[in-house]
């Protein structure tokens, strides 16, 4: 990192001793954007480790949890073992199932916020609309939008908003990669007269998805996509609707459940069971710290070892490819033609691997169709494919993912008036996926190049937060105006990533 002194002699002048005690900490302000896993971790660690701190956490949602607050689509769940998807310093041992539901993860995050009394830092329904670094002062100037009425409503159709200015010494961005989405570019999409949803914006108000679909038993549902959300939506809806048509234009590997070997060994469960529900006896064992530690370590070890599947032409990659192919073909034996269209030609782990509990089974049900013919257009009553076939539908769900370009939907302006959007075109470059040159006192969690092919993202987030906290402590302790990564370090890290491909 390249620090910039707030005051003192010139670079070539004589040494000057600061007129302050070593434990006389300047007050320092930190603003965190986002109240999901990253923002909550930051809201815990900054006050714990940085003295004389003024902390604010802004989040656009009406509650905490980030993507686990805003997402409500059918089947929403974790795609790695629940016990690996939590803070290492705040273990929940009584998860209800191996792959916990979205609502349970949200409740976990809310409980962490309550335990650490973080609501005193939170300003919900506050959206960052502009951030600009002010070089003379070494501070970030922020423009924040909030509703004029601070009620609990989540509807923005009839609300009025106001904007105000804030400043901060440190800007920590915890918005992640699952906050920006858009409708797919399909002709006629918004001409559809039935119910149209996107999994990232499954607008059902305060209802749960189970409550929202109670009247869907006679509905014909089209699901577009074969990514992480689509393979959760299809099995969740299949027993509750008249018909599902899954429109797929790509291929994907569907693995056996992660950690199934260790789970079978430790809990004597059936490894073929797709989402094991923990018994009271299991939870009682997990309450023993030593037993839980062994269990968690075994799961993490098996989960992290999956990265070897991504090593080109390695024995493990070849073995995984053969095992996953066999798993998929066996699961799709009732409709073997689907395996031909779904099993990829590319190697395992070229895209994030998922086990997709229940997806392959659901595809084999009589009320589910699997369509790989490209969509031509959406009509007022359904979907037409390029072969002229038209499906009459009552509901269309676009499970078409997120914008992973890391091009934020608000301007972030660094030194010299350069925006982060400009700097990260055509692709983003960072140092350790935490900071970038030209943007002093600016840190990120789960930024570009953070995504892992295997393992827990939460552990990664914790380390990124720790890095930002240590940099902030240095800035405060040494009374620096700014701290910034060198351009050469960013280039070196970018080169390292390219070499690793």
| Strand 382-385 to 375-378 pairing | antiparallel
DSSP string across 290-341: HHHHHHHHHHHHHHHGGGGGGSTT-HHHHHHHHHHHHHHHHHTTTSHHHHHH
Tens-digit pLDDT profile for residues 179-190:
678 899 999 999
Quickly state the pLDDT bin for 10 (edges 50, 70, 90): very low
Q: How far apart are CA 18 and CA 39, in angstroms?
A: 34
Please say if the pLDDT value at position 319 is more than 70.
yes
Quickly state the pLDDT bin for 356 (edges 50, 70, 90): confident
Q: Please say whether the beta carbons of 399 and 225 come within 8 A.
A: yes
DSSP string across 388-456: S-EEE-SEEEE------S---SS-EE-GGG-BHHHHTSSS---BTTTB-TT-TTEEESS-TT---SSS-
Please say if the pLDDT value at position 410 is more than 50.
yes
Tens-digit pLDDT profile for residues 126-137:
999 999 999 999
Average of pLDDT values for 58-85?
93
- The token pair that represents 426 in the structure block: 């055509």
Among the ranges given (374-378, 399-403, 462-466), the one the predictor scored with the smallest mean pLDDT: 399-403
Q: For the whole model, what pTM was predicted?
A: 0.91
Quickly state the pLDDT bin for 17 (edges 50, 70, 90): confident
pLDDT at 265: 65
Q: Is 471 in a helix, a strand, or coil? A: helix
pLDDT at 266: 61
**Helix, strand, coil % in the chain, rounded to nearest 5:** 35, 20, 45
Q: How far apart are CA 501 and CA 489, in angstroms?
A: 19
Q: How far apart are CA 303 and CA 411, in angstroms?
A: 37
Of 179 and 358, the one with more pLDDT: 358
Q: How far is CA 451 from the centre of its chain?
A: 9
Quickly state the pLDDT bin for 86 (edges 50, 70, 90): very high
Q: Please say whether the beta carbons of 130 and 411 come within 8 A.
A: yes
pLDDT at 317: 87
Average of pLDDT values for 29-46?
98
Q: Which domains does the chain have, with CATH numbers?
A: 28-179+403-465 (3.50.50.60), 189-254+354-398 (3.50.50.60), 258-337 (no CATH)
Tens-digit pLDDT profile for residues 412-455:
999 999 999 999 998 899 999 999 999 999 999 988 888 776 77
Question: Would the CA dihedral through 359, 362, 368, 371 be positive or negative?
Answer: positive
pLDDT at 4: 56
pLDDT at 262: 60
Quickly state the pLDDT bin for 316 (edges 50, 70, 90): confident
Please say if the pLDDT value at position 196 is more than 80.
yes
pLDDT at 398: 96
Please say if the pLDDT value at position 499 is more than 90.
no
pLDDT at 263: 60
pLDDT at 9: 43
Mean pLDDT score across all residues of the chain = 89
Q: How far apart are CA 426 and CA 12, in angstroms?
A: 39
**φ, ψ at 152 (rounded to 5°):** -100, 5
**φ, ψ at 215 (rounded to 5°):** -100, 15
Please say if the pLDDT value at position 204 is more than 50.
yes
Quickly state the pLDDT bin for 48 (edges 50, 70, 90): very high
Q: How far apart are CA 368 and CA 349, in angstroms?
A: 27
Average of pLDDT values for 477-487?
95
Among the ranges given (73-77, 96-100, 480-484), the one the predictor scored with the smallest mean pLDDT: 96-100
């Amino acid at each position: 990192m390249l620090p910039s002194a707030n005051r003192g002699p010139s670079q070539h002048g004589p040494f000057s001793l600061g007129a302050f005690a070593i434990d006389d900490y300047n007050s320092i302000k930190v603003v965190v954007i986002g109240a999901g896993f990253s923002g909550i971790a930051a809201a815990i660690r900054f006050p714990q480790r940085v003295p004389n701190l003024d902390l604010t956490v802004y989040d656009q949602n009406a509650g905490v949890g980030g993507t686990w607050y805003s997402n409500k689509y059918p089947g929403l769940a974790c795609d790695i073992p629940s016990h690996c998807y939590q803070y290492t310093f705040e273990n929940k041992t009584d998860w209800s199932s191996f792959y916990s539901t979205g609502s349970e993860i949200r409740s976990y995050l809310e409980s962490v916020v309550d335990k650490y009394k973080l609501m005193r830092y939170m300003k919900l329904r506050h959206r960052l609309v502009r951030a600009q670094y002010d070089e003379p002062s070494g501070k970030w100037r922020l423009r924040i939008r909030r509703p004029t009425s601070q009620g609990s409503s989540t509807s923005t159709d009839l609300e009025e908003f106001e904007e105000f200015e804030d400043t901060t010494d440190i800007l920590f961005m915890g918005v992640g990669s699952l906050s920006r989405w858009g409708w797919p570019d399909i002709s006629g999409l918004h001409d559809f007269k039935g119910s149209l949803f996107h999994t990232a914006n499954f607008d059902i108000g305060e209802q749960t998805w189970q409550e929202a679909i109670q009247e869907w038993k006679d509905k014909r549902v089209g699901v577009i996509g074969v990514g992480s959300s689509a393979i959760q939506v299809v099995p969740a809806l299949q027993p509750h609707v008249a018909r599902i048509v899954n429109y797929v234009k790509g291929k994907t590997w569907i693995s056996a459940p992660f950690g199934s070997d260790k789970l079978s060994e430790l809990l004597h469960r059936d490894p073929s069971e797709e989402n094991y529900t923990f018994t009271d006896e299991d939870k009682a064992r997990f309450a023993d710290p030593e037993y839980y530690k062994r269990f968690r370590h075994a799961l993490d070890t098996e989960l992290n070892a999956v990265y070897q599947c991504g090593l080109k032409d390695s024995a493990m990659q070849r073995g995984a490819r053969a095992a996953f192919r066999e798993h998929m073909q066996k699961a799709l034996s009732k409709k073997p033609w689907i395996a031909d269209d779904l099993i990829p030609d590319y190697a395992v782990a070229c895209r994030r691997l998922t086990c997709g509990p229940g997806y392959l089974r659901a595809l084999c049900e009589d009320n589910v169709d699997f369509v790989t013919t490209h969509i031509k257009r959406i009509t007022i009553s359904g979907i037409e494919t390029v072969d002229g076939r038209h499906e009459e539908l009552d509901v269309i769900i676009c499970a078409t993912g997120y914008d992973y370009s890391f091009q934020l939907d608000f301007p972030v302006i660094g030194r010299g008036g350069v925006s982060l959007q400009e700097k990260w075109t055509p692709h983003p470059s960072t140092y350790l996926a935490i900071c970038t040159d030209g943007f002093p006192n600016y840190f990120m969690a789960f930024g570009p190049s953070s995504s892992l092919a295997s393992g827990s993202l939460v552990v990664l987030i914790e380390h990124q937060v720790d890095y930002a906290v240590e940099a902030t402590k240095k800035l405060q302790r040494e009374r620096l105006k700014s701290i910034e990564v060198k351009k050469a370090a960013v280039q070196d890290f970018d080169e390292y990533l390219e070499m690793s491909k």
